[in-house]
Amino acid sequence: MYLIHRCALFLIYVTSGVLCAQIPLRPPSEPSAGNRNRTFRSKEHTYSVRLIEQDDDICDARVKQYTGWLDTGTKHLFFWFFESRNSPEDDPLLLWLNGGPGESSLLGLFQENGPCRINGHGNGTLHNEFGWNSHANLLYVDQPVSVGFSYVDHEYEDIPDNNIDAAVDMHVFLQIFTSEIFPALKNRDLHIAGKQYAVCHLQPSKCPWQLLTTKCRPITSLI
């Protein structure tokens, strides 16, 4: 309980900086000097992605890191992405999801396997040399929408009420993330790890499983 409380205090501490930096976005055609905000829009305008490059002031990861939202219709999925410490150009993509359902994946980031940990005062982070991005590009997603920093435009509308809808949203997210936003990841091995109920949102037929990899490799081979 103490760790959860400390995590909550830290998220409150950094939220204003993260959100204020991302909400007033500029279109790609209007860049400004030193601006780290980028918005990707589909040609059909069915979705867009708001992206900002973060620094170690928020998470002492010591690698490139990005936060943002995938906006599709009325749904907005929040993510936090860290490059691998080893070889980001060659290492696979590892997706981590917390369970619940209803538990933010940022708890996993700051308390379990992320590249940084919340410090003892709850007002900053410490580098975690044992973070799971040692040999993988690491992605955290708050899912389904309405969990953590993910949200919908209208309360209770379009919130998934079953595993299939939640899985579809995650499938769409991963397709866009690896083909449009970080296309270098498109042909990499994809490993999916989670705890408790998280995997049900990705492969409902595999609900008894708590760890999945698309290449049938044990996740422990990477960390």
Residue type, 177: F
Instruction: Please report, for the chain, the start and end positions of each structural domain, with discontinuous segments joined by +.
Output: 2-221
How far does Cα 42 stand from its chain's mean position? 20
Spatial distance between the Cα atoms of 23 and 134, rounded to a whole number of angstroms: 31
Whose CA is closest to 12, among 58, 74, 63, 79? 58
Spatial distance between the Cα atoms of 135 and 69, rounded to a whole number of angstroms: 25
Q: How far is CA 59 from CA 28, 64, 130, 152, 154, in A?
A: 26, 11, 14, 26, 31
Residues in the chain: 223
pLDDT score, position 80:
98
Whose CA is closest to 174, among 139, 198, 145? 139
* 124 pLDDT above the threshold of 60: yes
Task: Give the count of beta carbons closer than 10 Å to the beta carbon of residue 56.
Answer: 15
The string of pLDDT tens digits covering residues 58-86 is: 999 999 999 999 998 889 999 999 999 99
**Fold entry, domain 2-221:** Rossmann fold (3.40.50)
pLDDT winner (highest mean) among 4-13, 14-23, 133-142, 175-184: 133-142
Q: What is the mean pLDDT of residues 218-223?
A: 33
Q: How far is CA 85 from CA 61, 109, 182, in A?
A: 9, 16, 17
Token pair belonging to 104: 């933010």
In which band, very low, low, confident or very high, does the pLDDT at 152 lie, cut at 50, 70 and 90?
very high
157 compared with 125, residue with greater pLDDT: 125
The string of pLDDT tens digits covering residues 16-48 is: 344 333 332 233 333 334 457 888 777 665 788
Mean of all residue pLDDT scores within the chain: 77
pLDDT score, position 202:
54
pTM of the complete model: 0.77
pLDDT score, position 200:
61
User: What is the full DSSP assignment across 36-99?
Assistant: -EEEEE-TTSSEEEEEEEE-TTT---SS-EEEEEEEETTEEEEEEEE--SS-TTTS-EEEEE--
Residue located via tokens 């982070």: 125
In which band, very low, low, confident or very high, does the pLDDT at 8 lie, cut at 50, 70 and 90?
very low
